[in-house]
A and B are shown apart, each in its own frame.
Chain A
Amino acid sequence: MSRKVVSVWTSIPFWRKSAAWVTGFAAILLIWLTFDSMSQISMGTDTDLRNGITKRVPAPTVINYKITYEMDIKRGHEVPKIGEKEKFFGRDDWSEEEASSLLRLGKLASQAKNCMNCHTLLGNGAYYAPDLTKAWLDPAWENYILMTDSKTKEEAMSKFLQNPSMYPSHERMMPNLGITQKEAMGLVAFLKHMSSIDTNGFPRNFGRMSLDGKTGAIHGK
């Protein structure tokens, strides 16, 4: 069309070029930031853990340690803190290989059992059941140790996962998903590992208030 373009603002070629440049620039910036993010969220190693080096996503062997969620004054929000050794299913010497395969099994189980379509993980998923981001640190497990007649938190969690509708906490119950003992163990490892991920303070004030005023995760540690 030989119509004279009177202003650049109504010129199609101008906007076409703008679209290409803006899209290209945004895409390149995203790719560059992705490289940086990937290096920051790749899993740490067992050596990091032993030397007290903090990683945003620690090694699977984090299951050998006690994890808490504490206020970091400098950052202005809570962060996971990895403490002294703590037994997990009776052991605190899970090797890198063992811990890694346990975590892998747990993550696979979380997908195979479709957890995300009721729960949220890292806040993403459905909203029908509690968020699992810091589920390992949840004070509610104390009651489950009694209810399931277990010795430890991980044992209680494992029993609950294998027979959830036997131990209801609310009329909205978790269905029986045919989770085996091995899968339950993997899932508990997966949840413990997830609670050690640095989520920039999410969920905020986790467990700030509890009905008895004592068992909140932050104030009751």
Chain B
Amino acid sequence: MANNLQFESKKLAIKYFTVAAILFGAQLLMGLIAATQFLFPSFLFEVFDFNVARMVHINALVVWMLYAMIGSVYYLLPDETEIETVGIKLGNIAFYILTAAVTVVVLVYILVQVGPATESTIWFINEGREYIEAPRWADIGIVVVVLVFVFNLFATAAKGKQTGIVTVLMADVLALAGLYLAGMFFTENISVDQYWWWWVIHLWVEATWEVFVGCLAAYGLIKIIGARREIVEMWLWIEVTMLFGSGILGLGHHYFWIGTPEYWWEIGALFSALEPVPLVAMFVHVIYDWGKETGLKEGTEEKTMNNTPAFAWFVTNAFGNFLGAGVWGFFHTLPQINIYTHGTQFTSAHGHLAFFGAYATILIGMFYLGLQGKNGIKVLKATFASKMAISLITIGVLGMTVSLTIAGYGQVLVERAQMGATWQAYFISQSLPWFVQGIGWRLVMGVVTFIGFIFLIKDLLTTSKSPRHIY
């Protein structure tokens, strides 16, 4: 297949996008296994247990998103700085090292699964800490690889043109890489363990990743609808102010019940209640720019939209981020509610819609920008497959979210409010018809999502061959 990309940096980005898409598929498959086990607990019992399926499910999620994020930066860097990325050879080597390491880690998760209670398990099998289970040798490797990426970004920005988007990205990836270090130690004090664990998880997902999404949205709007850089960058800085202003101390909403002092109740409640604000701003931003800049240019027939599928995913991001991270996050963020809902299917419902709405959507949008660049398509139009992909994936994830919310509702009323969270209370709530039906619909909606994913892959692989795109 012809490659129309002039920059090595963009070619590397396509490699990152490819691995990201494969890992996305792995994430969905593991999710389907885990969802099936909720309904039929004997499915693969003591062969491929829920803990393994779930670990690979969430790790594949984190890793595919990081791949897509790194890819996105390599993709936009030549456009922003107007030069080839510095140290791109090193970047390529780092890509292969990272991919080899990820493969080994996944194989160990699947084949070895658990180890004896020794330090060597933590070094070589898994660390058993949700989301950052990667064994320590891989942690160190990941840091090295990410540092290569950070170096490339900084060196390129120093040499080429430094736009607002690049400036924000530089600060953001530095924080992202630094925060990972907070999760790389062992302590027997579980409260201390969880305290620092949240520095990685929350400060990534609700601070640095959100700012990262702001950068991608800014870049995408300039590329896709030709939005004016000044407007977009002004909004970007407003979003950074609000996202970091609420997200950093919003960390407090994870410190209600892990042994930490009570003052986190007030801090967590206040700042996490503010967290949806920038998400509304981001939403307004996209709609505002859309109305202002797109459609038909005055007096001409010329269309300014040059990538319909990417734009559709970007708009879905604005809605999804607000709905999943904002609304679903807010409704159980206050301590008065959270004491009942913490660690139930409510959390799961919020998690599914937030990760999808805030991150998956915009990163899939970036896949489409990469596709357009790689195939040298001037105006990329939606195809049947791209419409099926976005509809089925979005309906699937929304459906899973609603199902899990209903299941969580039953669970909270019976297990938490009525019976008091014991073992017996837990299993009684898991057998409620509302719960079981919710979990059943989650599986159905998971299958819908997976079918959408197949359409997505088909579209990404075949769009270049579509006659309407051959110029």
Assembly CA distance A193 to B339 (angstroms)? 21
Chain A residue at minimum C-beta to C-beta distance from B115: A112
Contact A112–B195 (Cβ < 8 Å): no
B462 within 8 A of A: no
Contact A113–B128 (Cβ < 8 Å): yes
B206 within 8 A of A: no
When A121-B190, A127-B343 are in contact, do A26 and B260 touch as well, CB less than 8 Å?
no
Assembly CA distance A3 to B254 (angstroms)? 45
Contact A122–B116 (Cβ < 8 Å): no
Residues on B with C-beta less than 8 A from A202 are 256-257, 339, 342
Contact A23–B240 (Cβ < 8 Å): yes
Residues on B with C-beta less than 8 A from A36 are 261
Contact B237–A173 (Cβ < 8 Å): no
**Segment among B48-56, B283-291, B308-316, B387-395 that sits at the interface with chain A:** B48-56
When A202-B339, A204-B340 are in contact, do A131 and B421 touch as well, CB less than 8 Å?
yes
Assembly CA distance A131 to B342 (angstroms)? 10
Contact with A along B24-49 (1 / 0, CB 8 A): 00000000001001100110011001
Residues on B with C-beta less than 8 A from A18 are 237-238, 241
Assembly CA distance A139 to B421 (angstroms)? 11
**Segment among B119-127, B372-380, B447-455, B463-471 that sits at the interface with chain A:** B119-127
Contact B116–A41 (Cβ < 8 Å): no
Interface residues of B in 215-270 (CB under 8 A from A): 230, 233-234, 237-238, 240-241, 244-245, 248-249, 251, 254-265, 267
Contact A125–B343 (Cβ < 8 Å): yes
Min CB gap B440→A, angstroms:
15
Assembly CA distance A171 to B197 (angstroms)? 32
Interface residues of A in 79-97 (CB under 8 A from B): none
Assembly CA distance A177 to B52 (angstroms)? 12
B130 within 8 A of A: yes
Residues on A with C-beta less than 8 A from B51 are 114-115, 117-118, 126, 128, 175
Assembly CA distance A104 to B54 (angstroms)? 25
Residues on B with C-beta less than 8 A from A116 are 128-130
Q: Which of B38, B193, B422, B425 has the most CB of A within 10 A?
A: B422
A176 within 8 A of B: yes
Chain A residue at minimum C-beta to C-beta distance from B47: A175
Among A1, A57, A216, contact of B259 (Cβ-Cβ < 8 Å): A57
Contact B190–A109 (Cβ < 8 Å): no
Assembly CA distance A41 to B188 (angstroms)? 12
Contact with A along B367-407 (1 / 0, CB 8 A): 00000000000000000000000000000000000000000
Assembly CA distance A33 to B261 (angstroms)? 10
Assembly CA distance A11 to B113 (angstroms)? 54
When A30-B251, A56-B191, A209-B425 are in contact, do A180 and B116 touch as well, CB less than 8 Å?
yes
Number of interface residues of A (CB under 8 A): 95
Residues on B with C-beta less than 8 A from A19 are 237, 240-241, 244
When A128-B37, A176-B46, A202-B256 are in contact, do A117 and B55 touch as well, CB less than 8 Å?
yes
Assembly CA distance A58 to B148 (angstroms)? 43
B345 within 8 A of A: yes
Contact A12–B164 (Cβ < 8 Å): yes
Contact A126–B258 (Cβ < 8 Å): no
Assembly CA distance A170 to B265 (angstroms)? 35
Residues on A with C-beta less than 8 A from B426 are 129-131
Contact A204–B416 (Cβ < 8 Å): yes
B307 within 8 A of A: no
Chain A residue at minimum C-beta to C-beta distance from B192: A41
Contact B249–A170 (Cβ < 8 Å): no
Among B54, B118, B240, contact of A128 (Cβ-Cβ < 8 Å): B54
Contact B117–A186 (Cβ < 8 Å): yes
Residues on A with C-beta less than 8 A from B262 are 200
Min CB gap B202→A, angstroms:
11
Contact A26–B195 (Cβ < 8 Å): no
Among B118, B420, B427, contact of A108 (Cβ-Cβ < 8 Å): B118
Assembly CA distance A30 to B251 (angstroms)? 9
Interface residues of A in 1-56 (CB under 8 A from B): 1, 3, 10-12, 15-16, 18-19, 22-23, 26-27, 29-30, 33-34, 36-38, 40-43, 56
B419 within 8 A of A: yes
A148 within 8 A of B: no
Contact B421–A110 (Cβ < 8 Å): no
Contact with A along B89-132 (1 / 0, CB 8 A): 00000000000000000000000011111110110011111100
Residues on A with C-beta less than 8 A from B254 are 124
Min CB gap B122→A, angstroms:
6
A211 within 8 A of B: yes
B333 within 8 A of A: no
Cβ contacts A to B, 30 pairs, < 8 Å: A12-B164, A18-B238, A19-B241, A26-B245, A33-B267, A41-B195, A42-B192, A57-B189, A104-B188, A108-B118, A111-B121, A111-B129, A112-B121, A113-B114, A123-B257, A123-B342, A124-B130, A124-B258, A128-B54, A138-B422, A171-B42, A173-B41, A176-B46, A178-B114, A183-B116, A190-B188, A201-B339, A204-B421, A210-B422, A211-B424
| 15 extra A-B contacts, CB within 8 A, seeds A114-B114, A117-B54, A172-B430 | A10-B234, A15-B234, A19-B240, A115-B128, A124-B130, A127-B348, A128-B50, A131-B426, A133-B257, A169-B423, A170-B430, A183-B116, A203-B339, A207-B420, A209-B420
A residues bordering B, Cβ < 8 Å? Answer: 1, 3, 10-12, 15-16, 18-19, 22-23, 26-27, 29-30, 33-34, 36-38, 40-43, 56-57, 60, 100, 103-118, 120-131, 133-135, 138-140, 165, 169-173, 175-178, 180, 183, 186, 190, 194, 197-211, 216-218
